[in-house]
Structure 1
Amino acid sequence: MKKFYIASSFQNIDMVREVSDILRQQGYVQTYDWTQNERAATLKELKRIGELEKEAVIEADFVIVLLPAGKGSHIEFGIALGHNKRIYLYSTNDDVNNPETTSTFYHLDNVVKVIGTVDDLIEKLR
């Protein structure tokens, strides 16, 4: 049973839920569903959520990053890189391959870039 974590921004919450639902229906286990949280209002809440998300990334067999993503997602991306996790970087456009808009870390060997539709992402995960 493979475990996954999805990193993204609140603006992508519907897509995160869609991908999570599909993967869980296929027998995958989500290590943490941050979409169930309200936006943190205190530093104590931020710390608690950060600890949960960090542990979820470490526990996952692979991490999915849905772009566009915010600073928290990129920190989770870094945690996954540091733990040598397979990372699936999803984008609807080819900006990840544009030298002016990409990150050096998007092109490391354990990062699989998926450009297209959510169906393309799900197919790549299979």
Structure 2
Amino acid sequence: MSQNNSTKFYIAGSFRYSKLINNLANILEHSSFVRTYDWTVNKKADSIKKLHEIANKELQGIQLADFLVFIFPSGKGANIEFGIATALKKRIYILDMKNEIENFDLTSTFYFLDNVKIFKGSLDDFTNFIIDCEAK
């Protein structure tokens, strides 16, 4: 997938990874990738209306993205985003910093689909991995 100025990404993960997610996004953006939606700026939803608004923005972000980054492990929202990206046949990159993705109590069969690339290691090495994969 040849990377150019319009290659877009979406990051799925837990709020507990917000700092890591924003660091990753900044590195990718400095490499000419475009973030489709930054959900980390959202406050905790306090109404169904707000949930509806956020859900639509997140869905649109995934739809517009060329690839999805998934921080493992994450919660139900991120896994739903992963499922949407899978259904849309997006390229998916998983970051597993704790080498736990093969733990049967934590993993999912869908993490091992052909469109998914799993990376075990540090954030810096992961960003280089994504950049290298997208340059192909």
In which range does the TM-score fall when normalised by the shorter chain?
A: over 0.9
Corresponding letter in the other structure for 1:60: A
Match of 2:64 among 59, 65, 74: 59
Q: Report the secondary structure of 2:101's partner residue.
A: helix
Aligned counterparts of 1:93 and 1:13: Cα–Cα separation in 2: 17
Aligned counterparts of 1:67 and 1:12: Cα–Cα separation in 2: 10
Structure 1 length normalisation: TM-score?
0.96
Q: Which runs of 4+ in 1 moved over 3 A?
A: none
Query: Over aligned residue pairs, what C-alpha RMSD do you find?
Result: 0.9
Q: Report the secondary structure of 2:69's partner residue.
A: strand
Paired residue total: 126
5 Å-filtered alignment, 1:1-126, equals 1-126=6-131
Structure 2 length normalisation: TM-score?
0.89
Structure 2 unaligned blocks of 5 or more = 1-5, 132-136
Structure 1 unaligned blocks of 5 or more = none
The structure whose RCO (Cα within 8 Å, separation 6+) is larger is 2
Q: Report the secondary structure of 2:73's partner residue.
A: coil
Identity %: 40
After TM superposition, give the deviation of residue 101 of structure 1 in Å. Answer: 2.6
After TM superposition, give the deviation of residue 78 of structure 1 in Å. Answer: 0.2
Farther off after superposition, 97-106 or 10-19: 97-106
C-alpha distance after superposition, 1:68-124 (max 9, x if no partner) = 211000000000000000000111122112334311001000010011100121011
